[in-house]
Structure 1
């Protein structure tokens, strides 16, 4: 138990426990900004998300912290950029969230919260055998209850199909591996993975309500990351676009479960004071954007493929152009956000930690850099605050970027040339203006370099930790 956590518990005992919201984060995998009806997709049907977009806050500039999964997942739990955490690529058997980090699940315990993780984890292994030196389970990261997988699974009948990575890649419940043999006998683990995973989460919520306990849930869909299975319940509606059936039925499966979640919160009478988020961990895995089609949105520039859409935004998964990190973003919390609104205010998954700390009146740790900022003032303004005011840094697999309210600089590789774009006048990053605005470019590059130096100092601490636990420690990034 961390010293910071002990201080928070003590302060709660001394000063009481204010009324605070339940907190739920719903995160999909590899779902692009364009893969929802409300952003203009002409094929994919997402009626529940479209309804939420009308009734809640639609964040048109919501960003994943990274353009691949593990870095974003580590950042959203800590409020710290993945570069600081030493996680710049997907965490397989050679990465994990360092135990010295303070997670959002650990921090909220100071206010008596129950915490749970459901679905994909991917920021540490579940066994020393599979991930020697890099074991970090949801339980080790502060979650009281977890029904989780180390990485991805088939999205339909996962136990019937099994998974190529072996027995340890299936579901685990609080540290116990549910084997293929056991899983194939259980009716609650058959069919649509998104549905039976949501069944678990809704049962958990109902129990917390019965016991009058506040809760935080980090719910991670396996959809729409491969390996995808066709979801029969939603496939028929896409029969006229056969090459899109698999992907589209998976997005619709997610949509249906978001609808179930929202309906259950209302049935239980807790929707008013529940902070409910929906987003994706990075842009779609388009692998070159093949079979491109166009829709009417974004002035006719909206484009989509059978395996995902960034809308008209440039790039996709693994790039730091907008299409790699700009993702769907929705938030509802009626107790604080009284009226629905849309906003181009720049938000980031790294903001979740400081936002929750602010909402629960918990002081941020002072012994480490927090890259996110609290969105509570923005929410309270009802969208009147239009500018973030602080630039956001990105770092992933050699790519780097520094993005503000209007301008953005981006580097496509460690040795690549920096580019600059005006996101207000050129949101699709079509015209590099670095040479046209040298003063502004140099100002942003200087700010990025200062931030990067700070990140590398933190990263070095992680590298040194890895040296103690593995024969093949990773090197510090550049």
Structure 2
């Protein structure tokens, strides 16, 4: 699909060369609920810049996304329901978007836009599934589902290099976005700023936190509101930059979030929060400033899948028929010229750990929300008269329930090609565009008692290597014949060294003796509330050796021999594979 798109858009770009198209700045926050803004009625929070943006421009007041992070991001970037893009959850490679999906970045890049992403990606960490492989020429941020520390952290650039930063992460990301805008002010640009705040861990400076702590709010809420106020300050910085550079009038500026709030707090009397399919879990703020459009409040249902076609139309970019979009342009709702907007339904599917388990799902029409829980409990609400979902109408509206349930199952079977779980594409190794590939522990699969520190969330490690039966393995695809160098990030106390570690790639094996201990240390974590995710640690690096590999599909396995002490504390964080030469 991408090859056809590239050819099509190269031709179309010649046709419009020289025309003045708008720039695009798209801000997406992480776990900020509908109610985490002053403009949506929050009595505590201070967000004057975002409030002003909303009050002076377009508000999509019933804008729906997914219940969790990665699925929403895939839909926003492609205009397609996440299950069709390969994404069905948030970790263990269930968050990876298919490389062949056409993203907004690729659409804009093929039409002479400069493209940059500054923040959290969360749709694949290795090329071509990472930001660079999906159309972003400039990247500064991280690819995981969350980051461990928000002060003076290391972030990745488009070359795959990790760079030590100074300051608070939202401020740093904004600095880089501003630099990108200034560097490309004479060209069209698409600047995507997916901040990771206010996602956990709950870290923010005293000047933000103490203000809300003094209001008597609990630690998490005080931290979240402080993080949101910091976001607001940075939104103000971005807007000021665009105005100072003379770019504001010709820039589309978007502000939204990826799902409902990550905790119990004010959410405009809606039921639900993050990871639920109730209104409060999937209805988020969406404000759009667009050239030649004025203050409008849209009450009709709109969704993440509509952003791709809407931006394409606003920027006069034709989307070829080869891209099977699920959303539609919302411009008829904005210009008032065509109010013949057909009633529609929006589907939500929130996947459990295992695909075969019963999911939480919902169907939202202009009038009703049907909720199907993981416990197979189905409820129905009239959202026009009961927006807080206080009264279940399912018993007295069996016909509506049956139709909406049938519609959902029909949609699900269609979007999953007959109910098949989206299969994560293999990790690709050996691209000239990305000579280094990192195989993180959570991107692998553990077997025979080897397990993760937790459930397999971002940034965790593998442990519990008891004997040679225990293994962690990754499904990979070598794209070029060549020599590949393997390094391992690990920790192991001196009392447990002396065993052998084996890396197996097909029938080839590297064997290395664990002779160098590394005592890991936990880095300082200025959390406002005790975290549930793992802390950040230091790791040692062991050079494992080289293998010549032919193109093809392999399983990369790591195991130990039986000489290991079963009580060991050996931990494996990741393998780093570098292509040293290719033929």
Report TM bin, short chain: 0.7 to 0.9
After TM superposition, the structure 1 = structure 2 runs for residues 68-217 of structure 1, keeping only pairs within 5 Å, are 68-126=68-126, 136-151=129-144, 152-154=146-148, 156-159=150-153, 170-178=154-162, 183=164, 189-209=165-185, 212-217=186-191
Separation of aligned partners in 2, 1:87 and 1:331:
26
Task: State the shift of 1:58 in Å.
Answer: 2.2
1:94 & 1:448 partners in 2: Cα distance? 22
Q: How many residues align?
A: 421
Deviation per CA, 1:115-172: give whole Å up to 9, x if none: 1111111111147xxxxxxx6210000001101212222564142xxxxxxxxxx411
- Report what 1:44 is aligned to: 45
- C-alpha deviations, 1:197-246, integer Å up to 9, x for none? 1011011101111xx21011111111100112122332343242253432
The answer to whether 1:231 aligns with 2:205 is yes
Which of 216, 232, 246 lines up with 1:255 in the alignment?
232
Rounded to whole Å, the distance in 1 between the matches of 2:93 and 2:409 is: 30
The secondary structure found in structure 2 opposite 1:457 is coil
Note if 1:401 corresponds to 2:377: no
| Aligned position for 1:266 | 243
Rounded Cα–Cα distance in structure 1 between residues aligned with 2:270 and 2:149: 27
Q: 1:115 to 1:459 in 2, by over 3 A?
A: farther
Pick aligned residue for 2:306 from 320, 340, 351 = 351
Superposition map of 1:400-419 within 5 A: 400-413=361-374, 416-419=376-379
Q: Give secondary structure in 1 for the equivalent of 2:361.
A: strand
The RMSD of aligned alpha carbons is: 2.5
Q: 1:201 to 1:90 in 2, by over 3 A?
A: same
Is 1:312 matched up with 2:269? yes
Q: Give the TM-score normalised by structure 1.
A: 0.82
Choose 137-146 or 442-451, whichever is displaced more: 442-451
- 1:439 counterpart residue number: 399
**Matched residues in 2 for 1:99 and 1:200: separation?**
26
Contact 1:111 1:360 in 2 (8 A): no
**DSSP-derived class of the 1:330 partner:** strand
Deviation at 1:380, TM superposition (A): 1.5
SS in 1 for 2:12: helix
1:301 counterpart residue number: none
Equivalent residues of 1:80, 1:350 under 8 A apart: yes
> Match of 1:391?
345
Task: Give ranges in structure 2 of 5+ residues lacking alignment.
Answer: 352-358, 430-443, 445-472, 476-583
For 1:219 and 1:332, how far apart are their aligned partners in 2? 16
Deviations 1:295-343 (A, max 9, x none): xxxxxxxxx3xxxx3221111111100111111111111x231x21323
Indicate conservation of the 8 Å contact 2:371/2:378, yes or no.
Answer: yes
> Using a 3 Å threshold, how does the CA distance of structure 1 residues 377 and 436 change in structure 2: closer, same or farther?
same
Q: What's the CA shift for 1:29?
A: 0.5
Aligned to 1:59: 60
